[in-house]
Amino acid sequence: MATDQIVALPTDLQLLSVTSEMFPLVKTGGLGDVAASLPTALRHHGVRTVTILPGYPAVMNALTHRTEVFVFHDMLGYRTTLWEGTAHGRHLYVVDVPELYDREGGPYLGPDGRDWPDNHMRFAVLSRVAACIAQGCLPSWRPDVVMTHDWQAGLVAAYLRYDQLPAPPVAHVIHNMAFQGLFPREVLSRIGLPGHAFTFDGVEFYGKVGYLKAGLQIAGRLITVSPTYAEEIQTEQNGMGLEGLLRSRSADLSGILNGIDLHEWNSLTDPAVIFPYAIGDIAGRRANKRVFQAEFGLPQDSNAMLLGIVSRLTRQKGVDILAEIAPRLFQANIQLAVVGVGDQEIMQSFRTLQLAYPRNLVCHLRYDEILGHRLHSAVDASLVPSRFEPCGLTQLHALRYGSVPIAARVGGLTDTIVDANAAAIEEGVANGILFSPTEPDALYRAIMHGKKLFRQKSVWARLQRNGSLHDVSWHGKAAHYARLLMEMAGRAPVRAFGENDIAPRLSDMGMPFSPSSAFTRTARMPQSRPRNPGLGRTESPRFGAAS
Ligand code: ADP
Ligand code: GLC
């Protein structure tokens, strides 16, 4: 588990990260991974993050060294306790409202698979509390910049704008435009926003309150999780109705690729890997394929190409297309392992296929972190046939563990995979296979192309080696984030220091300089303030619904 081992310096930029997920406490997808690993990576670039999360049971149970730092007697109608503590080495603020968060089920869906009916309040309260911290309600700590993730935190920027109080700038990170947090107009007063926020340049989106829209419209800077997705979302095809807004904000929009935690993803130390092997040791991983085939009842045939997929089973991921072509693949002696959960219909189609092709298909239709790791250490190729993919982490996991990604030419998949076309093979730079469009025949052809290359052992080994050498770390990407955040705070950029250093030298640290107004879009926080988070509890006045 990554912990925050670097000594804090008074010059560190203080970042408040507002998120609805954080691995390993709560995760439905890559957002949870990024919300956990980016802060650790940012520590090496002079950015110190405190993450604020809803008090789901898993979060409350994991919180250690907790201190009650604030009580909001009426936070949009709820008595709300703000805890500060640590969990899995992360510094957290936790918004504790038992009526909203203390329940069985996922962060967004109830046990019946439907959205929680009070999601608008669950994430409004999270955002409202984060906005209060940004405005300085804690005497002990204020952030220099706020980073908000996805629709669940989109309202932070709105609260800060309509309160008209001094507040730090907001960077909104777009992980997925498909989830927009749209609610009826009537929720506006309930979530404590004034009537005049319901406009085209406020939170209104086609007659509804749009939480994502609010973030995109109001945050000072927008960041998407890959450069290609930053381009794609400005088009009608991928902008999900928000392309016009995004085009109008293109000067404030950056695309920064995600990285992964190299300590979590180390096949030599990963407990999920049955036969540990060094990154890049292609021969060393072979035993993992054999034992995986045995473990899951597939014929132990090293010549049979074994494909795998770890994914949410939704239309975004193109898994319905995979199910459609699966019988053709099985006729070609291809094996497939599926680890995923999602749409009932898609899960049912895999169940049916497994009954018909038990010697070719093995399905684990659930969320299974161990198998999600093991699979990439064992399979020959990992499939990512997405219709759209803002970044994608699963292809990064595959590359790192020596499984060749076969992926759709969309979003972050394009930015991380070098297609094995003849020229790239000749040059020795290919690390995977890309196909387009995301349709059954194109996917089938890509897999068959892969099968041909799989038979050419030296070509395939080169793809695997290139993949494992590909930089999937956070190093350069976190530096990019840090530069942007420093710029937003009106600071000079900090030079990165090595991951093995205990602390940076003072000479490595950029000293604050007089801010240029070009860098900030919202009012600047006062410079002199205490830096050590978390001492003592404070009580609040009322944060009631707007009348
Ligand atoms: P998304 O966030 O769109 O779901 P990503 O590829 O960015 O896609 O991240 C998905 C993350 O969730 C990865 O860490 C992946 O390994 C993990 N994951 C997805 N489905 C499962 C599953 N059924 N079991 C274990 N891990 C899963
Ligand atoms: C989203 C996207 C995925 C991305 C992840 C983390 O869930 O679908 O592509 O990798 O967020 O940013």
Which CATH number is 146's domain given? 3.40.50.2000
User: What residues are in contact with ligand 2 under a 6 Å CB criterion?
Assistant: 29-31, 34, 175-176, 225, 258, 389-393, 412
Rounded to an integer, the average pLDDT of 399-420 is: 98
Residue 367 has pLDDT above 80, yes or no: yes
Q: Among 228, 233, 391, say which to mutate for ligand 2: greatest number of ligand atoms within 8 Å of CB.
A: 391
198 plus 69 within the same structural domain = yes
Residue 515 has pLDDT above 90, yes or no: no
Ligand 1 atom nearest to CA at 33: 14
392 lines ligand 1 (CB under 6 A): yes
196 plus 93 within the same structural domain = yes
315 plus 367 within the same structural domain = yes
CB distance 211 to 67 below 8 Å: no
- pLDDT band, very low/low/confident/very high, at 498 (cuts 50, 70, 90): very low
Residue 163 domain-assigned? yes
- The pair of three-digit structure tokens given for residue 106, joined into one six-digit string: 């996922």
235 plus 338 within the same structural domain = no
Rounded to an integer, the average pLDDT of 501-517 is: 28
Rounded to an integer, the average pLDDT of 303-311 is: 98
Interior angle at CA 314, CA 20 and CA 296, nearest 5? 100
pLDDT confidence of residue 11: 82
pLDDT confidence of residue 493: 66
Residue 389 domain-assigned? yes
Distance spanning both ends of the chain, measured CA to CA: 46
* 3-state SS class at 223: strand
313 plus 388 within the same structural domain = yes
CB distance 314 to 342 below 8 Å: yes
Q: 526 in the Ramachandran plot: left (φ > 0), alpha (ψ -120 to 50) or beta?
A: beta
Cis peptide before 24 (omega within 30 of 0): yes
Ligand 1 atom nearest to CA at 316: 3
Q: Among 180, 258, 311, 472, say which to mutate for ligand 2: greatest number of ligand atoms within 8 Å of CB.
A: 258
Residue 510 domain-assigned? no
pLDDT tens track for 333-348: 999 999 999 999 999 9
259 lines ligand 1 (CB under 6 A): no
Picking from 448, 469, 490, the residue at the C-terminal end of a domain is: 469
311 lines ligand 1 (CB under 6 A): yes
- The pair of three-digit structure tokens given for residue 206, joined into one six-digit string: 């086609």
Ligand 1 center–CA 29 separation, angstroms: 5
Rounded to an integer, the average pLDDT of 22-37 is: 97
- The pair of three-digit structure tokens given for residue 286, joined into one six-digit string: 């072979």
Residue 535 has pLDDT above 90, yes or no: no
15 lines ligand 1 (CB under 6 A): no
Rounded to an integer, the average pLDDT of 510-534 is: 28
197 plus 297 within the same structural domain = no
Residue 516 domain-assigned? no
pLDDT confidence of residue 501: 34
CA dihedral sign, ordered 463, 464, 465, 470: positive
368 lines ligand 1 (CB under 6 A): yes
Structure letter (DSSP) for residue 543: B
206 plus 300 within the same structural domain = no
pLDDT confidence of residue 234: 98
306 plus 234 within the same structural domain = no
Residue 532 domain-assigned? no
Ligand 1 center–CA 186 separation, angstroms: 34
Strand partners, 15: 49, 145
- pLDDT band, very low/low/confident/very high, at 32 (cuts 50, 70, 90): very high
pLDDT confidence of residue 542: 52
326 plus 418 within the same structural domain = yes
Residue whose CA is at the smallest distance from ligand 2 atom 12: 175
218 plus 366 within the same structural domain = no
Ligand 2 atom nearest to CA at 390: 9
Residue 158 has pLDDT above 70, yes or no: yes
Residue 315 has pLDDT above 90, yes or no: yes
Of the listed ligands, the closest to the CA of 24 is 1
209 plus 165 within the same structural domain = yes
Ligand 2 center–CA 78 separation, angstroms: 31
Ligand 1 center–CA 398 separation, angstroms: 12
pLDDT tens track for 463-472: 999 999 999 9
Give the closest residue to 483 by CA, choosing from 22, 86, 45. 45
Residue 386 domain-assigned? yes
Residue 277 has pLDDT above 80, yes or no: yes
Q: Among 19, 21, 175, 229, say which to mutate for ligand 2: greatest number of ligand atoms within 8 Å of CB.
A: 175
pLDDT confidence of residue 113: 87
Residue 171 domain-assigned? yes
225 plus 320 within the same structural domain = no
Domain with 187 in it: 3-255
Ligand 2 atom nearest to CA at 175: 11
Picking from 441, 469, 497, the residue at the C-terminal end of a domain is: 469
Of the listed ligands, the closest to the CA of 152 is 2
Interior angle at CA 525, CA 489 and CA 511, nearest 5? 45
Residue 533 has pLDDT above 50, yes or no: no
Residue 211 domain-assigned? yes
pLDDT confidence of residue 326: 98
Residue 418 has pLDDT above 90, yes or no: yes
Residue 547 has pLDDT above 90, yes or no: no
Share of the chain above pLDDT 70, in %: 88
pLDDT confidence of residue 492: 75
312 lines ligand 1 (CB under 6 A): yes
pLDDT tens track for 66-88: 999 999 999 999 999 999 999 99
pLDDT confidence of residue 496: 52
Ligand 1 center–CA 258 separation, angstroms: 13
Q: Among 152, 393, 397, say which to mutate for ligand 2: greatest number of ligand atoms within 8 Å of CB.
A: 393
33 lines ligand 1 (CB under 6 A): yes
pLDDT confidence of residue 251: 97
pLDDT tens track for 463-497: 999 999 999 999 999 999 999 999 999 987 655 54
Picking from 469, 497, 518, the residue at the C-terminal end of a domain is: 469
pLDDT confidence of residue 6: 58
Number of domains in the chain: 2
Of the listed ligands, the closest to the CA of 225 is 2
Does the predicted model carry a pTM greater than 0.95? no
Of the listed ligands, the closest to the CA of 174 is 2
